[in-house]
Protein backbone atom coordinates (compact mmCIF):
# COMPACT_ATOMS: atom_id res chain seq x y z
CA UNK A 1 0.00 0.00 0.00
CA UNK A 2 1.40 3.33 -1.00
CA UNK A 3 2.02 5.83 1.71
CA UNK A 4 1.39 9.43 0.85
CA UNK A 5 3.25 12.01 2.88
CA UNK A 6 1.74 15.42 3.36
CA UNK A 7 4.27 18.14 2.39
CA UNK A 8 3.43 20.22 5.42
CA UNK A 9 3.90 17.26 7.76
CA UNK A 10 7.26 16.47 6.18
CA UNK A 11 8.43 20.03 6.63
CA UNK A 12 7.41 20.01 10.29
CA UNK A 13 9.23 16.74 10.81
CA UNK A 14 12.39 18.11 9.23
CA UNK A 15 12.27 21.25 11.38
CA UNK A 16 11.84 19.09 14.47
CA UNK A 17 14.91 17.02 13.65
CA UNK A 18 17.01 20.14 13.04
CA UNK A 19 15.80 21.57 16.35
CA UNK A 20 16.89 18.45 18.23
CA UNK A 21 20.33 18.61 16.61
CA UNK A 22 20.71 22.30 17.52
CA UNK A 23 19.68 21.64 21.11
CA UNK A 24 22.18 18.78 21.37
CA UNK A 25 25.01 20.88 20.02
CA UNK A 26 24.18 23.98 22.02
CA UNK A 27 23.62 22.16 25.31
CA UNK A 28 26.34 19.52 25.69
CA UNK A 29 25.98 16.52 27.88
CA UNK A 30 26.51 16.59 31.61
CA UNK A 31 29.83 14.83 31.00
CA UNK A 32 30.87 17.58 28.62
CA UNK A 33 29.79 20.18 31.17
CA UNK A 34 31.97 18.51 33.76
CA UNK A 35 34.94 18.41 31.39
CA UNK A 36 34.50 22.09 30.57
CA UNK A 37 34.26 22.96 34.24
CA UNK A 38 37.39 20.97 35.01
CA UNK A 39 39.20 22.63 32.14
CA UNK A 40 38.15 26.08 33.37
CA UNK A 41 39.20 25.19 36.92
CA UNK A 42 42.57 24.04 35.62
CA UNK A 43 43.03 27.28 33.73
CA UNK A 44 41.99 29.29 36.78
CA UNK A 45 44.43 27.37 38.96
CA UNK A 46 47.23 27.86 36.45
CA UNK A 47 46.45 31.56 36.30
CA UNK A 48 46.33 31.72 40.08
CA UNK A 49 49.68 29.95 40.37
CA UNK A 50 51.15 32.34 37.81
CA UNK A 51 49.83 35.37 39.69
CA UNK A 52 51.07 34.00 43.00
CA UNK A 53 54.51 33.44 41.50
CA UNK A 54 54.59 36.98 40.18
CA UNK A 55 53.48 38.29 43.57
CA UNK A 56 56.16 36.20 45.28
CA UNK A 57 58.79 37.46 42.86
CA UNK A 58 57.64 41.02 43.43
CA UNK A 59 57.58 40.69 47.20
CA UNK A 60 61.08 39.24 47.16
CA UNK A 61 62.24 42.68 46.08
CA UNK A 62 62.71 45.03 48.96
CA UNK A 63 60.40 47.83 47.91
CA UNK A 64 57.17 45.86 48.18
CA UNK A 65 57.84 44.83 51.76
CA UNK A 66 57.31 46.92 54.84
CA UNK A 67 60.55 48.67 55.81
CA UNK A 68 60.36 47.47 59.40
CA UNK A 69 59.88 43.91 58.16
CA UNK A 70 62.90 44.26 55.93
CA UNK A 71 65.02 45.50 58.81
CA UNK A 72 63.79 42.67 61.01
CA UNK A 73 64.59 40.07 58.33
CA UNK A 74 68.06 41.50 57.87
CA UNK A 75 68.67 41.63 61.62
CA UNK A 76 67.75 37.96 61.98
CA UNK A 77 70.11 36.96 59.15
CA UNK A 78 72.94 35.26 61.04
CA UNK A 79 75.11 35.38 57.93
CA UNK A 80 75.49 39.15 57.98
CA UNK A 81 78.87 40.27 59.27
CA UNK A 82 79.30 43.90 60.31
CA UNK A 83 82.67 45.54 60.90
CA UNK A 84 83.83 48.99 61.96
CA UNK A 85 87.46 49.94 61.26
CA UNK A 86 89.65 52.93 60.55
CA UNK A 87 91.57 53.00 57.27
CA UNK A 88 94.19 55.45 56.08
CA UNK A 89 93.34 57.35 52.93
CA UNK A 90 96.02 59.67 51.60
CA UNK A 91 97.42 60.15 55.09
CA UNK A 92 93.97 60.79 56.63
CA UNK A 93 92.31 58.32 58.98
CA UNK A 94 88.84 57.50 57.71
CA UNK A 95 86.22 55.58 59.70
CA UNK A 96 84.47 52.83 57.77
CA UNK A 97 81.46 50.63 58.44
CA UNK A 98 80.84 47.54 56.36
CA UNK A 99 78.12 44.89 56.19
CA UNK A 100 78.13 41.77 54.04
CA UNK A 101 76.25 38.48 54.00
CA UNK A 102 79.04 35.93 54.51
CA UNK A 103 76.71 33.05 53.58
CA UNK A 104 76.47 34.24 50.00
CA UNK A 105 79.24 32.86 47.80
CA UNK A 106 79.37 35.96 45.64
CA UNK A 107 78.41 39.57 46.23
CA UNK A 108 75.96 41.31 43.95
CA UNK A 109 78.29 44.29 43.95
CA UNK A 110 79.32 47.05 46.35
CA UNK A 111 77.28 50.10 47.28
CA UNK A 112 79.30 52.90 48.89
CA UNK A 113 77.34 55.33 51.05
CA UNK A 114 78.52 58.90 51.64
CA UNK A 115 76.56 61.30 53.87
CA UNK A 116 75.21 64.83 54.17
CA UNK A 117 76.48 67.65 56.35
CA UNK A 118 74.17 66.92 59.26
CA UNK A 119 74.93 63.20 59.25
CA UNK A 120 77.67 60.54 59.35
CA UNK A 121 77.94 56.87 58.45
CA UNK A 122 76.03 56.16 61.67
CA UNK A 123 72.91 57.46 59.96
CA UNK A 124 72.95 54.60 57.44
CA UNK A 125 73.57 52.15 60.27
CA UNK A 126 70.69 53.36 62.44
CA UNK A 127 68.31 53.58 59.50
CA UNK A 128 69.00 49.91 58.77
CA UNK A 129 70.39 50.55 55.30
CA UNK A 130 73.67 48.68 55.76
CA UNK A 131 72.14 45.44 57.05
CA UNK A 132 69.28 45.48 54.57
CA UNK A 133 71.68 46.15 51.70
CA UNK A 134 73.80 43.17 52.81
CA UNK A 135 70.63 41.07 53.18
CA UNK A 136 69.80 41.91 49.57
CA UNK A 137 73.12 40.41 48.48
CA UNK A 138 75.31 43.50 48.15
CA UNK A 139 78.35 44.59 50.10
CA UNK A 140 77.47 47.79 51.95
CA UNK A 141 80.16 50.28 52.91
CA UNK A 142 79.61 53.63 54.62
CA UNK A 143 82.32 56.09 55.60
CA UNK A 144 82.66 59.23 57.67
CA UNK A 145 84.03 61.86 55.32
CA UNK A 146 87.08 63.85 56.48
CA UNK A 147 86.26 66.17 59.39
CA UNK A 148 83.04 64.26 60.19
CA UNK A 149 82.12 61.61 62.73
CA UNK A 150 84.98 59.35 63.75
CA UNK A 151 87.25 60.29 60.85
CA UNK A 152 90.24 62.60 61.34
CA UNK A 153 89.55 66.30 61.67
CA UNK A 154 90.57 68.62 58.91
CA UNK A 155 89.13 69.14 55.45
CA UNK A 156 90.69 67.65 52.34
CA UNK A 157 92.07 70.08 49.76
CA UNK A 158 91.45 67.80 46.78
CA UNK A 159 88.14 65.94 46.88
CA UNK A 160 88.76 64.08 43.61
CA UNK A 161 92.12 62.71 44.72
CA UNK A 162 90.61 61.77 48.07
CA UNK A 163 87.87 59.77 46.35
CA UNK A 164 90.35 58.02 44.05
CA UNK A 165 92.54 57.13 47.03
CA UNK A 166 89.48 55.99 48.99
CA UNK A 167 88.30 53.67 46.22
CA UNK A 168 91.77 52.16 45.95
CA UNK A 169 92.06 51.55 49.69
CA UNK A 170 88.62 49.93 49.71
CA UNK A 171 89.51 47.74 46.74
CA UNK A 172 86.90 49.46 44.61
CA UNK A 173 89.25 50.83 41.97
CA UNK A 174 88.81 47.58 40.03
CA UNK A 175 85.40 46.32 41.14
CA UNK A 176 83.54 49.58 40.60
CA UNK A 177 80.86 50.53 43.14
CA UNK A 178 77.57 52.33 43.02
CA UNK A 179 78.12 55.53 45.01
CA UNK A 180 75.23 57.01 46.98
CA UNK A 181 75.81 60.71 47.49
CA UNK A 182 73.38 62.84 49.52
CA UNK A 183 73.55 66.61 49.86
CA UNK A 184 76.99 67.87 51.02
CA UNK A 185 78.78 64.77 49.72
CA UNK A 186 78.01 65.96 46.22
CA UNK A 187 81.12 68.07 46.71
CA UNK A 188 83.09 64.79 46.63
CA UNK A 189 81.07 62.70 44.20
CA UNK A 190 80.21 65.20 41.46
CA UNK A 191 83.77 66.31 40.60
CA UNK A 192 84.72 62.61 40.47
CA UNK A 193 81.72 61.90 38.24
CA UNK A 194 82.83 64.37 35.60
CA UNK A 195 86.60 63.98 35.89
CA UNK A 196 86.69 60.20 36.33
CA UNK A 197 83.38 58.65 35.21
CA UNK A 198 85.19 55.32 34.87
CA UNK A 199 85.38 55.16 38.67
CA UNK A 200 81.63 54.49 38.88
CA UNK A 201 79.55 51.40 38.27
CA UNK A 202 76.59 53.62 38.98
CA UNK A 203 75.68 56.81 40.81
CA UNK A 204 72.75 57.60 43.12
CA UNK A 205 72.69 61.34 43.85
CA UNK A 206 70.26 62.39 46.56
CA UNK A 207 69.78 66.13 46.04
CA UNK A 208 73.54 66.76 46.09
CA UNK A 209 75.07 70.22 46.35
CA UNK A 210 77.04 71.60 43.42
CA UNK A 211 74.97 70.39 40.47
CA UNK A 212 75.07 73.90 38.97
CA UNK A 213 78.86 73.89 38.76
CA UNK A 214 78.70 71.71 35.67
CA UNK A 215 77.14 72.74 32.37
CA UNK A 216 74.41 70.97 30.44
CA UNK A 217 76.81 69.50 27.89
CA UNK A 218 78.77 67.80 30.66
CA UNK A 219 75.58 66.09 31.84
CA UNK A 220 74.46 65.18 28.33
CA UNK A 221 77.82 63.62 27.50
CA UNK A 222 78.26 61.66 30.72
CA UNK A 223 77.21 58.02 30.26
CA UNK A 224 77.42 56.83 33.86
CA UNK A 225 74.26 54.99 34.96
CA UNK A 226 72.61 57.47 37.29
CA UNK A 227 69.53 57.32 39.52
CA UNK A 228 68.56 60.66 41.07
CA UNK A 229 66.23 60.45 44.09
CA UNK A 230 64.77 63.59 45.70
CA UNK A 231 61.84 64.55 47.92
CA UNK A 232 58.96 66.66 46.67
CA UNK A 233 59.37 68.94 49.70
CA UNK A 234 62.89 69.87 48.64
CA UNK A 235 62.14 72.55 46.03
CA UNK A 236 65.66 73.95 45.91
CA UNK A 237 68.35 71.25 45.73
CA UNK A 238 65.86 68.55 44.77
CA UNK A 239 64.43 70.42 41.80
CA UNK A 240 67.89 71.45 40.59
CA UNK A 241 69.11 67.84 40.78
CA UNK A 242 66.14 66.53 38.80
CA UNK A 243 66.64 69.13 36.07
CA UNK A 244 70.32 68.30 35.67
CA UNK A 245 70.34 64.50 35.99
CA UNK A 246 67.37 64.11 33.66
CA UNK A 247 69.70 65.23 30.85
CA UNK A 248 72.05 62.28 31.28
CA UNK A 249 71.64 59.60 28.59
CA UNK A 250 71.68 56.78 31.16
CA UNK A 251 69.97 58.75 33.88
CA UNK A 252 66.67 58.24 35.66
CA UNK A 253 65.00 60.57 38.14
CA UNK A 254 62.59 59.87 40.99
CA UNK A 255 60.65 62.22 43.26
CA UNK A 256 59.31 60.78 46.52
CA UNK A 257 56.04 62.17 47.83
CA UNK A 258 55.84 63.70 51.30
CA UNK A 259 59.63 63.66 51.61
CA UNK A 260 62.07 66.42 52.41
CA UNK A 261 65.75 66.94 51.67
CA UNK A 262 66.92 63.68 53.36
CA UNK A 263 64.15 61.79 51.53
CA UNK A 264 65.52 58.39 52.64
CA UNK A 265 64.44 59.24 56.20
CA UNK A 266 60.89 60.23 55.24
CA UNK A 267 60.24 57.43 52.76
CA UNK A 268 62.78 54.67 53.51
CA UNK A 269 60.78 51.88 51.91
CA UNK A 270 60.35 53.61 48.57
CA UNK A 271 63.88 55.00 48.60
CA UNK A 272 65.45 51.59 49.11
CA UNK A 273 63.17 49.92 46.59
CA UNK A 274 64.36 52.37 43.93
CA UNK A 275 67.96 51.93 45.03
CA UNK A 276 67.87 48.11 44.89
CA UNK A 277 66.00 48.04 41.58
CA UNK A 278 68.64 50.33 40.13
CA UNK A 279 71.50 48.29 41.63
CA UNK A 280 70.03 45.10 40.23
CA UNK A 281 69.95 46.56 36.73
CA UNK A 282 73.37 48.17 36.89
CA UNK A 283 75.29 45.22 38.33
CA UNK A 284 73.81 42.93 35.68
CA UNK A 285 75.11 45.06 32.81
Q: Report how far residue 138's alpha carbon sits from residue 283's, in angstroms, rounded to the nearest whole number.
A: 10
Q: What is the radius of gyration, based on Cα positions, of the chain?
A: 31
HSE-up (13 A, CA, CB side) for residue 89: 29
Give all strands of the β-sheet with 92-101 in edge-to-edge order: 80-89, 92-101, 139-143, 110-113, 178-182, 202-206, 226-231, 251-256
Pairing of strands 178-182, 202-206: parallel
Cα distance between the two ends of the chain = 94
* Residue numbers annotated as active site: 183, 234, 261
Q: Report how far residue 177's alpha carbon sits from residue 201's, in angstroms, rounded to the nearest whole number.
A: 5
Query: C-alpha distances in angstroms, 27 versus 14, 19, 20, 21, 171?
Result: 20, 12, 10, 10, 74
Amino acid sequence: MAIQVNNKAALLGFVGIVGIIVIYLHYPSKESDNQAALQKTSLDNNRKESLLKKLSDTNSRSGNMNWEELKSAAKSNAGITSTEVTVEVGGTKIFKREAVDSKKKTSGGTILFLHGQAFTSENWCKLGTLNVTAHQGYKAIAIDLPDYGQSAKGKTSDSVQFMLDLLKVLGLDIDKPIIVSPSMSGGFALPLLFQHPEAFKGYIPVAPVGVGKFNDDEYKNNKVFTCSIVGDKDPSLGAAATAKFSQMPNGETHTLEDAGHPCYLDQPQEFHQIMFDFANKVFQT
